[in-house]
């Protein structure tokens, strides 16, 4: 197995980094203060063709694989997590079901415009009473002739204010728990659909999370993914590992940014007559940070490679998400300690890394759920 990146992959990494440094980094303070991402930033991502990175040329995509997409997410998050999260939503969660299970008409009307950056989508799973516990979802979808009637509420819908369509999880069989869930494609302008209040948060503040309300929202019956009821959980399982690995890639990007800044600072800051990197206490912190960053890199790209080879990767994806986000917390915490009081200054990047890394603990399943998945796979003899 070759653990190095190809020249093409390294060129792509440099391309993404240069893009982020040019178009995103100068706007970070503005986005943090406004708590939103300007439309021209979305436009610039679209102009680079990044929204189609994971999809084939037949739908106007770039034909990239999971390794390439992980590089993209990592480099975007190294610059600014909020834009990385919104790009990942557009490239993965908000459009993947369309590509895999949408009709040709739906691909033409929604997926291809999304790849071009003309329309935006998001995934709506979480509710006030149900997040990781999918069986607790209370939004319902009742068949009525050639339509489904959707009623319920969603929360933490990323980018809902900018979106044109949603992939919505709803119960078609309320008595069947998580196996009674199905997924629906719903346009924003459907009567009865309302984007509610913005949820204020201290993490990834510009990514924008909103409440959504569905009051007798009618959608054609062909908007159910999979063609018939009872497929939702199966379809979800096909994407969760992707989300876990690429959530970890975001974590690696943040950890690398914190580590690089702490290393540079330690080479410049002096205390007791020498730069602080020459004090063993600081040097050991940096050494442990290097361990977490390098281990995270290997876990992520091995899992991404397994995905591209169509090999089993349930354990690897879960291990990846758990270790990288926990390791990232250690890295950003030690980075703030190296910076001392400056690590808490709102004028420094460190306090943002410290906040944003915590957001990644919840995405793609809580850490407790991730440990449950690993335990379940081990009990099945996966190892």
Give the model confidence (pLDDT) of 295-333 as tens digits. 999 999 999 999 999 999 999 999 999 999 999 999 999
pLDDT confidence bin for 383, thresholds 50/70/90: low
Question: Which pLDDT value is given to residue 1?
Answer: 66
Stated pTM of the model: 0.94
Q: Which of 206, 214, 210 is nearest to 187 (CA)?
A: 214
Structural domains of the chain ordered from first start: 7-116 (1.10.540.10), 121-229 (2.40.110.10), 233-379 (1.20.140.10)
In angstroms, the CA 132 to CA 145 distance is 32
Count of H-run helices and E-run strands, the chain? 13, 9
Closest C-alpha to 329, from 301, 367, 369, 368: 367
Handedness of CA 104, 72, 92, 37 (dihedral sign): negative
> Is residue 121 helix, strand or coil?
strand
pLDDT in tens, 192-245: 999 999 999 999 999 999 999 999 999 999 999 998 898 998 898 889 999 999
Distance CA(182)–CA(178), nearest Å, equals 9
Whether pLDDT at 365 is above 90: no
256 vs 253: CA distance, rounded Å: 5
* CB 304 within 8 Å of CB 232: no
In angstroms, the CA 334 to CA 373 distance is: 29
Task: Report DSSP letters for 191-243, one per residue.
Answer: TTEEEEEE---SSSTTS-EEEEEEEEEEEEGGGBTTSSTT-HHHHHHHHHHHH
Tokens 């008409």 belong to which residue?
105
Q: What SS3 class is residue 129?
A: coil
């Amino acid at each position: 197995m070759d653990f190095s990146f190809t020249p093409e992959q390294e060129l792509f990494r440099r391309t993404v980094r240069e893009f982020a440094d040019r178009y995103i980094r100068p706007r970070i303070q503005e986005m943090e203060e406004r708590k939103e991402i300007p439309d021209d930033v979305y436009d610039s991502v679209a102009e680079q063709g990044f929204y189609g990175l994971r999809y084939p040329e037949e739908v106007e995509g770039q034909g990239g694989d999971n390794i390439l997409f992980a590089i993209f997410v990592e480099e975007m998050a190294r610059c600014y997590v909020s834009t990385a999260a919104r790009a990942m939503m557009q490239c993965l969660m908000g459009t993947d079901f369309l590509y895999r299970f949408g009709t040709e008409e739906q691909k033409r009307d929604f997926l291809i415009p999304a790849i071009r950056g003309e329309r935006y989508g998001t995934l709506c799973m979480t509710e006030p009473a149900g997040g990781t516990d999918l069986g607790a979802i209370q939004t319902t979808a009742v068949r009525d002739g050639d339509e489904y009637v959707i009623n319920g509420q969603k929360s933490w819908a990323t980018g809902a204010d900018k979106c044109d369509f949603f992939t919505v999880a709803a119960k078609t069989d309320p008595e069947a728990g998580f196996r009674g869930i199905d997924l629906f494609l719903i346009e924003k302008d459907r009567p009865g659909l309302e984007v509610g209040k913005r949820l204020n948060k201290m993490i990834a503040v510009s990514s924008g999370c909103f409440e959504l309300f569905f009051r007798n929202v009618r959608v054609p019956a062909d908007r159910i993914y999979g063609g018939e009821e009872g497929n939702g959980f199966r379809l979800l399982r096909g994407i969760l590992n992707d989300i876990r690995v690429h959530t970890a890639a975001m974590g690696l990007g943040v950890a690398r940014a914190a580590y690089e800044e702490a290393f540079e600072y330690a080479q410049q800051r002096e205390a007791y007559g020498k730069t602080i990197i020459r004090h063993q206490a600081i040097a050991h912190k940096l050494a442990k940070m290097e361990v977490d960053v390098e281990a995270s890199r290997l876990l992520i790209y091995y899992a991404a490679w397994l995905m591209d080879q169509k090999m089993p990767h349930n354990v690897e994806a879960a291990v990846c998400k758990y270790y990288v986000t926990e390791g990232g917390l250690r890295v950003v915490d030690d980075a703030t300690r190296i910076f001392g009081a400056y690590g808490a200054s709102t004028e420094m990047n460190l306090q943002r890394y410290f906040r944003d890394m915590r957001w990644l603990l919840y995405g793609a399943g809580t850490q407790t759920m991730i440990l449950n998945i690993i335990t379940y796979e081990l009990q099945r003899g996966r190892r």
